[in-house]
Amino acid sequence: MQERLIQGLAHIGVYVKNLEKSKKFYCEILDFTIEEECSAGDSSVAFAVNGDMALELIQLT
Protein backbone atom coordinates (compact mmCIF):
# COMPACT_ATOMS: atom_id res chain seq x y z
CA MET A 1 0.00 0.00 0.00
CA GLN A 2 1.30 3.46 -0.90
CA GLU A 3 1.97 5.94 1.91
CA ARG A 4 -0.38 8.94 2.00
CA LEU A 5 1.54 12.14 1.33
CA ILE A 6 -1.24 14.57 2.22
CA GLN A 7 -2.03 14.43 5.93
CA GLY A 8 -4.52 17.29 6.17
CA LEU A 9 -5.49 20.75 5.03
CA ALA A 10 -4.19 23.86 6.82
CA HIS A 11 -6.69 26.36 5.45
CA ILE A 12 -8.49 27.54 2.34
CA GLY A 13 -7.97 31.03 0.90
CA VAL A 14 -11.13 32.87 -0.18
CA TYR A 15 -10.95 36.20 -2.01
CA VAL A 16 -13.70 38.57 -0.88
CA LYS A 17 -14.89 41.99 -2.07
CA ASN A 18 -15.70 43.32 1.40
CA LEU A 19 -13.79 41.87 4.35
CA GLU A 20 -16.06 43.36 7.03
CA LYS A 21 -19.25 41.99 5.44
CA SER A 22 -17.58 38.61 4.89
CA LYS A 23 -16.42 38.38 8.52
CA LYS A 24 -19.95 39.21 9.67
CA PHE A 25 -21.44 36.51 7.40
CA TYR A 26 -19.02 33.76 8.43
CA CYS A 27 -19.29 34.60 12.13
CA GLU A 28 -23.02 35.29 12.47
CA ILE A 29 -24.42 32.81 9.95
CA LEU A 30 -21.84 29.98 9.84
CA ASP A 31 -20.57 30.25 13.46
CA PHE A 32 -16.89 30.91 12.64
CA THR A 33 -14.68 33.02 14.91
CA ILE A 34 -12.00 35.42 13.73
CA GLU A 35 -8.67 34.20 15.12
CA GLU A 36 -6.28 36.67 13.52
CA GLU A 37 -6.32 39.73 11.24
CA CYS A 38 -3.60 41.65 9.46
CA SER A 39 -3.04 44.14 6.66
CA ALA A 40 -0.02 44.53 4.43
CA GLY A 41 0.40 46.63 1.33
CA ASP A 42 -2.72 46.31 -0.80
CA SER A 43 -4.38 43.44 1.07
CA SER A 44 -6.23 42.72 4.30
CA VAL A 45 -6.58 39.21 5.69
CA ALA A 46 -8.69 37.58 8.40
CA PHE A 47 -8.50 33.95 9.52
CA ALA A 48 -11.96 32.55 10.29
CA VAL A 49 -12.04 29.26 12.21
CA ASN A 50 -14.81 26.78 12.98
CA GLY A 51 -13.61 23.52 14.53
CA ASP A 52 -10.90 22.06 12.29
CA MET A 53 -11.87 24.27 9.32
CA ALA A 54 -9.94 27.50 8.74
CA LEU A 55 -10.64 30.06 6.02
CA GLU A 56 -8.25 32.83 5.04
CA LEU A 57 -10.49 35.71 3.96
CA ILE A 58 -8.49 37.96 1.62
CA GLN A 59 -9.50 41.42 0.43
CA LEU A 60 -7.34 43.16 -2.16
CA THR A 61 -7.71 46.94 -2.26
pLDDT the model gives residue 1? 65
pLDDT of residue 7: 75
51, 11 contact by CB (below 8 A): no
- All domains in the chain, ordered by first residue: 12-60 (3.10.180.10)
Residue 47 CB partners (closer than 8 Å, separation 6+):
11, 34, 35, 36, 37, 54, 55, 56, 57
Mean pLDDT of the chain: 93
The H or E element spanning position 25 is: helix 19-28
Q: 0.85 exceeded by the pTM?
A: no
Q: What is the pLDDT of residue 5?
A: 78
Burial class of residue 24, CB neighbours in 10 A (0-12, 13-18, 19+): exposed
Q: 27: which strand partners?
A: none
**Which stretches of the chain score pLDDT less than 70?**
1
